[in-house]
Amino acid sequence: MAVQPILKYPHPVLKKLCKRVEVIDQCIVDLIRDLVDTMHAGPGSVGVAASQIGVTLRVCVVDVSKNRLGKENNHGLLCMINPEIAARSGLAVMREGCMSVPDYTGDVDRATEVTVRFSESDGSSREITASGFEAVALQHEMDHLDGVLFLDRIVSIKTGLFRRKNYS
């Protein structure tokens, strides 16, 4: 479909709780296409949530397969409707960035492994277990659906927030 503009912090939509998708129709399929196109257009992007393009529905996409950190351990392109974390384990501090907060990165506590349940665009249910960088990306995008930014999860505002030098 089309690359959509990314909302930037402090846009109020980024802090909204997104609504569950009740019916998977052509509008949802088109939304997923827009999210994928927008993700691929973003410099170094590995995911986009619907709220980042101004749509407050529980839909997001993640694909870490082209990133050096996720190349060896990934599920490819994940287009998730109403995703939920069913289980999580491990804990690590990870450096995160976000297209909605383009000037900063931050150290965030994340589970190192998550099991996620979601619907796909054809209505089928799927469950995956992800680890490492993919697990972090999934948690990051799912946080957007709850109106949570990585800024809200920084381990230390004094020592864990960094001005971004570039996107690579």
Question: Mind telling me the catalytic residues?
Answer: 141
In 51-155, beta strands by DSSP E = 59-62, 78-89, 92-98, 101-110, 113-119, 125-131
Burial status of residue 64 (CB atoms within 10 A of its CB: 0-12, 13-18, 19 or more)? buried
The whole-angstrom separation of Cα 50 and Cα 58 is 7
Contact present, 81 and 21 (Cβ < 8 Å) = yes
